[in-house]
Structure 1
Amino acid sequence: MTELNHLRVYTKELKQHLPRDIFQPVPARLLWLIPYLGLIIAGALIIALTSWPIVIKIVLSLMMGFSFASLGFLGHEVLHGSVVKTPWLRDTIGGLCFFIFGLSSKLWRKWHNVDHHGHTQHPSLDPDAFETLEEYHKHVGIRFLYGLPPALRSFANFVSFTFWFSLLSPLMLKHYHRHLKPRERAVMYAQTLFPYLFWITVGILVGPVHFILIVVIPALIANFLVMSYIATNHLLCPLTETNDPLANSLTIQNPRWLDFLHLNFSHHVEHHIFPSVNPVHAPKIRALLLRLYPDRYQQMTWGRALLTLWRTPRLYGPDHKTLVSPEGMTFGTLGHGLDPKNVRPKK
């Protein structure tokens, strides 16, 4: 594989070919709040206040889940500053978009914008990077998971997608707690607790059955959709001490209609090169990357990426370029021997 390049190499070269206006915020993206919030509010009211058939209410619950996921994608770009620049407005809208996940906008900017983007796939500095085999021996929970047969282990991983993004919020809050100033800590805790109190109040008002339809099922679906992207964005790539998005990130190939509904969240290599550029411009950046770096740019269909994720373990070997299991199976990573069309252990 080609030697790693640093992120700065790509940004410097790509800027020579891109118009300056793509680096401006796109406030029109806020119009996505209308259909998605409108569907969520209307769905919740119909479920809670009407005697419509349960089948219709379940369909509405599913649609609410898809809407919450898309709001999460919108919140992601808002908190990167690619929609509005005013800090209080950015954080308020971002927090609203992440409301179903109970995720603090201030915590997200520290964890995601600063640490994840600043140290993507770094084995010790990226809070989202997965564990190495050495760390496996130190954690009881990971050892328990890898004590399961491989198929059951993969199933458990995929089931965790239905709650993992919501669970990350308190886990990251605990992780950053001692590194925060008292005021920062207070704001993050308040932004985390308020959504939970709101949803508990909703549950008290509407009763347990309607609570499941209005909150629980939509939250499970939203978590699964968001994590299905997040997991495929990096977990098939090697760990890299140099922040090279063409080595440590993967773009998902979706039909245009799905990219439209999911606000181009699939364009992840592009996003890691220009985090503050609105995803509406991601297809232009993708076309340029394919022209300038055709042998290094990594993309895969969503289905293929998820299937490859299912067939490979999630622990990294000592070289950080292989995926290993405690049973002794070793797989390559993207760019280092992993063939998504023929996933098999190395000999």
Structure 2
Amino acid sequence: MNSEKMLISSDETVDRETLINQSTYIKKLRPLLPPEAFEPDPSKLTILLINLGILLLGWGIADYLDRWPVYLLWLYLPLAAIMGNSIIVLLFSSHDLMHGSVQKKSWLTYPIAFLGLSMLLMPPTQWKSLHNLVHHNTTNSLADPDRNYLYQQPDTWGKWIQNLFVPSVEVNPLWLIVGMAGSWTVHNFRNVSSVLLFNDKSVDYVPAAFTVSPKDRSTIALECLGILGIHLSILFYLDFNPIKVTLAYILPIALGHAGAMFYIYTNHMGCRMTSINDPLINSASLRVPKIFDLLHLNFSYHTEHHIFPSINSNYYPMVQELLQIHYPDRMNLIDAGEAWRLLRETPRHYKDEVTFTDSLGEMSVNCSILEEYKG
């Protein structure tokens, strides 16, 4: 893929070096979408509650694991995998709920989101600030807490762990496996501790620090205690039994967090930085087997989500079709396996807005590498 001009409309062209603000895409595409695309879809709430039920069922069955013969314990593994997938679905359905695409404003939104995000260790008040307000408005810019670290940023513990865990040309495969299960927790701890301990934009162990109001800061602290209480309750229910805890708690959480991180890594980490919030340049959408789009609420359509955060996710494919008509070849649309391979074969720090480098600053790889391999 090169920088040749891309058709936008019959009378306007632009190349990939020219950034387009999200609002321009909205103005162009919203009139082409049906009104029902912007109506809440309560079926996602049902999906969220079903997956909470799957976890409760899994823990209920696990309570009897100490009575199973050791040679039959492997029979629980498929259920652990299903529970792991439920944790992924809880993240994505809670994500849609908090963007307002599931139901109109209701007092039920907050407690349901709290339960949905609890297995992800994510305080919903922090999610609303970090994800809805900061990440979506400053995607892959200097102000985005979810971006790659800059090479020029200090070598703090947060940067060191990210070097150790994230997919890159430098990462050790064993640490990458650990990182798939543990990166979500590290990401949460990094941001929660930044807000609760400092709440200052000068904090240097996060890629970009953000702040919240004193009221939200207190709420986040209380939510952390509530989430801790939920997890301790699960462990108490499982009697802190090593077999029960390993199969019904640690394994599902590890699988769920790993599945979520696969999407999160490929959403933005292979894209260039942008000073203007241009979702077709700073975000990526994946081609995945249809079963995963069905299970995961079309989360692979991530560029489309960044243009219309509150749209019913069932309409993401329609948004993609419109993007391919009106902005052909401009968006980052790539097979999931290819996106993962590229992350593994490229460095993971920003040397500048358009260049990746390694932890030593010795490599220089153009960030358009993802653009060149899409197709």
The TM-score with structure 2 as length reference comes to: 0.84
Q: Does 1:160 align with 2:179?
A: yes
Q: Does 1:274 align with 2:308?
A: yes
The answer to whether the 8 A contact 1:154-1:310 is kept is: no
Question: What letter is aligned with 1:227?
Answer: M
Residue among 188, 194, 199 paired with 1:175:
194
Question: Who is 2:144 aligned against?
Answer: 126
Encode CA deviations 1:70-105: one digit per residue, 9 max, x unaligned: 111111111111101225322222221111112111
Question: Who is 1:61 aligned against?
Answer: 80
RMSD (Å), alpha carbons: 2.3
Encode CA deviations 1:169-213: one digit per residue, 9 max, x unaligned: 232122233343333222111212212222223223322321122
Question: What letter is aligned with 1:235?
Answer: M
The answer to whether the 8 A contact 2:332-2:370 is kept is: no
The answer to whether the 8 A contact 2:280-2:330 is kept is: yes
Question: What letter is aligned with 1:170?
Answer: F
Change over 3 Å in CA distance of 1:214–1:337 after alignment to 2: closer
Question: Who is 1:345 aligned against?
Answer: none
How far apart are 1:286 and its partner, in Å? 0.9
Question: What letter is aligned with 2:81?
Answer: L
How far apart are 1:315 and its partner, in Å? 0.4
Question: Who is 2:347 aligned against?
Answer: 313
Between 224-233 and 150-159, the greater mean CA deviation after superposition: 150-159
Question: Who is 1:202 aligned against?
Answer: 234
Change over 3 Å in CA distance of 1:304–1:169 after alignment to 2: same
Question: Who is 1:79 aligned against?
Answer: 98
Alpha-carbon distance in 2 for matches of 1:120, 1:339: 21
Alpha-carbon distance in 2 for matches of 1:143, 1:262: 31
Between 26-35 and 271-280, the greater mean CA deviation after superposition: 26-35
Change over 3 Å in CA distance of 1:168–1:327 after alignment to 2: closer
Instruction: Give the 3-state SS of the residue equivalent to 1:29 in structure 2.
Output: helix
Alpha-carbon distance in 2 for matches of 1:290, 1:332: 24
The answer to whether the 8 A contact 2:356-2:366 is kept is: yes
Residue among 337, 340, 343 paired with 1:303:
337
Instruction: Give the 3-state SS of the residue equivalent to 1:210 in structure 2.
Output: helix
Count how many residue pairs are aligned between Structure 1 and Structure 2: 337
How far apart are 1:131 and its partner, in Å? 1.1
Change over 3 Å in CA distance of 1:92–1:144 after alignment to 2: closer
Change over 3 Å in CA distance of 1:337–1:330 after alignment to 2: farther
The answer to whether the 8 A contact 1:154-1:311 is kept is: no
Question: Who is 2:355 aligned against?
Answer: 322
Alpha-carbon distance in 2 for matches of 1:293, 1:85: 32
How far apart are 1:159 and its partner, in Å? 2.9
Q: Does 1:39 align with 2:39?
A: no
Question: What letter is aligned with 2:105?
Answer: T
The answer to whether the 8 A contact 1:332-1:338 is kept is: no
The answer to whether the 8 A contact 1:254-1:301 is kept is: yes
Gaps in structure 2 of 5+ consecutive residues: 4-14, 200-210
The answer to whether the 8 A contact 1:66-1:222 is kept is: yes
Question: What letter is aligned with 1:132?
Answer: L
Change over 3 Å in CA distance of 1:29–1:152 after alignment to 2: closer
The answer to whether the 8 A contact 2:129-2:212 is kept is: no
Question: Who is 1:139 aligned against?
Answer: 156
Encode CA deviations 1:239-288: one digit per residue, 9 max, x unaligned: 11100001000001112121001110110000000001121111111111
Encode CA deviations 1:145-184: one digit per residue, 9 max, x unaligned: 7699945446534531212222322321222333433332
Change over 3 Å in CA distance of 1:155–1:6 after alignment to 2: farther
How far apart are 1:34 and its partner, in Å? 4.6
Alpha-carbon distance in 1 for matches of 2:163, 2:297: 35
Instruction: Give the 3-state SS of the residue equivalent to 1:191 in structure 2.
Output: helix
Change over 3 Å in CA distance of 1:337–1:100 after alignment to 2: closer
Change over 3 Å in CA distance of 1:132–1:181 after alignment to 2: closer
Alpha-carbon distance in 2 for matches of 1:286, 1:62: 31
Residue among 45, 51, 63 paired with 1:30:
45
Question: What letter is aligned with 2:152?
Answer: E
